[in-house]
Structure 1
Amino acid sequence: MTQKPTLLVLAAGMGSRYGGNKQIDGFGPNGETILEYSIYDAIRAGFGKVVFIVREEILEVAKEKFLPKLEGKIEVDWVIQSLDSFVPEDLKQSDRVKPFGTAHAVLCAKDAVKEPFAVINADDFYGKEAFEVQAKFLTHEVKPELHSMVGYAIQNVLSENGTVSRGVCTTNEKGQLIGMIERTSIAREGDRIISRGEGEVIEIAENTPVSMNFWGFHPAVFSDIEAMWKEFLPANLENLKSEFYIPTVANNLIQEHKAAFEILPGGKTWFGVTYTEDKPVVIDSLKEMHASGEYPKKLWN
C-alpha cells in the first residue's frame, strides 16, 4: 500500500509587515483562515496527515482554531519551534529573539514525519492544482535524491500594495531547479517587473519561476538538513538575526550533487497577505471561488 504524504505547515512566524497574526485571521465567507483552504485542498489531493509547526505561545490558540474542524478528516500533529530546538547548550544565544528560519522549522519536525512530505507557509493560498501535482510527485516519484518545488510565474505573485521578496529560480534544460536567489523589493513598474534590492536594479522576465515555499521532500532530507544546521550554528553565533532557510538547503544539495529538484507546474493560482491592504483582495477572491463552486458553501461540515 502506498504511503500517503504529509503536509508540514510553517505557522511559527509573526506577520510583522501585515500587522497581526495572519495565520489565524479569517478571510473566507465563514471566517476561514487561508490555511484551511490549503488543508482542504491537501485532503482532496490525497495527503494523509498535517503537522503544524508553531511557537509554544500560540499552540493552544491554534489547536482551538483548527482541531474542531479537522477532527475525523485528517490526522493532525503539532511540533514546537523554539529558540532552543536542536541547539546544543554551548551554542545557545541568550539575547536572540528572532526564530532561526524555515529550514530550522522543518528540522524541528524530524521526529514527527517519517513519510514523504510537503512544506507550505500558513499564510499563502496555493490553489488546488499545486496540491494535486505535489501529492502525485510525493506518492509516485520522490526519492532520497529527488525532491520538488511548485513553481509560480513571478507575474502572478506580486502585491499591488508594496514590494515583495521572492526566491527567483534558475532552471536547466530539463526544467529542474539549479539555483535560487532571494530578490527583494520586487514590484511592477509600468510593463516591467523590477527588483531594487541589494543596491542593484534587475529586470525579471514575467514567466520566471519563483518559489512560494511549497516544497516536496523525501524524509531522507532530514539528515541533510541536520548536517547543514550543525555547520550553520557555530558559523552564525555572533549574528542574532541570522536565519537558516529552505532555499539554502536546496541550493547546497544541488551544488553538492546530492539531490535534484523538479519544478512542478502546479502554480496556477496564488494570493497572500503581505500587507494589511491585501486583505480585501483575498476576501473577494475566496468569495468568488465559493460562488463558482470551486469550494463548497462551507469548507467544513
Structure 2
Amino acid sequence: MDLTQLQYFIKVIEEKNFTRAAEQLHISQPSLSISIKKLEEHLQMSLIHRRKPSIQLTREGEIFYNQAKKIITQMNDMEKEMERLRLEGPLELSISMIETAKNWFSEIIKKIKSDSSTIHIQISELLSLSELQNALLNYEIHFAITNHFIDTQELESIFLYEENLVVLLPKNHPLQSEASLTIENLQHLPFILCKEGYQTRIDIIKAFQDASIHPNIQFEIERFETAYHLVESSLGITIVPENYVNAPNHPNVHIKKLESPMLKRNVYLVKNRSRYLPPVIHRSIETICAFHEGDFKF
C-alpha cells in the first residue's frame, strides 16, 4: 500500500465514478480499477460495493476513507511546512491564550526558547468560542489555552487544570467584611458579565439559575481587565477566575471566595486533530502538559 493508492481511492470516492476519477487523475480507467482492486487485496477486505448503481463504501471502506483522508492531509501539510521553512527560515509558534494563563505561561516560554532559541512566538487572545474554532480550523494558530471544552471531529481538548471563580467588590462595599459570599448575596447588585459566546458567562449564569436568581446585569464585557476597572470605579461587581487576581496586586478591590461549588472552571489545551504539527510544536504541547501534571523540569 502506498500514497498513490490512497490518492486514487480518495478520488474515486469523491467523484463517485471510476471514469471521472480516471480523467481527473490522468490515467486509464482499467489502471485505476486494478489499483483499487490491489488495494483491497492487500487489505484483505472489500472497500466498495460494486453491484450498486453508484459507488458506495462498505463499512470498512468508510473507515479506510476517513483515515486515508487524514494521512493525505497530513502529508500535504508537512510538505507545505517544509516549503515554508525553506523559504522563511525558523518556525513560528502561534497560540491563543486566556488572560489567566499569564500567571504561568512565562515559565513555559522560557523552556520553549531554551529548546529552540530561534523560534518566533505569537500570542493572541481569542476569547469567544467561534473565534477560537475558526482560528484553529483555518490554521491561524497551532493550539489554544482556553476554558472552552471543544470535542469535535476536527478539534480535541486536553485538560490542564481547574481554577476557582471569585467575586470582586469595590472598596467600601457593604459586603466587604464578609469572609465569603453566596450567589444569594449577589442577587440585586449591579453585575458585570462576559458577553454572549464566552464559557465563563455560561458557568456564571448557570450558578444563578441553579439558585433561582436572575443577575442584575449592567455591563457586558470581553476582558477581565475591563471588568476589574469597572469594579474599581464602583460601577458594579463581577466574578472572575481566582488566578486573575491576588490581593497584593489588586489593592483597590475586595476579593471574596464563593461558597457555590458550581463556580469553578476547567482550562484546556485545544488543538486540531488532523493538522500536521512540527516537532517543536509537539514539544511545546508536551511541556505545557508536563507543567500542569507536576513533571515540569526547567
Q: TM-score, normalised by structure 2?
A: 0.23
Higher fraction of helix: 2
Q: TM-score, normalised by structure 1?
A: 0.23
Point out the structure with max Rg over C-alpha.
2
Q: Relative contact order (C-alpha < 8 Å, sep 6+): which is higher?
A: 1
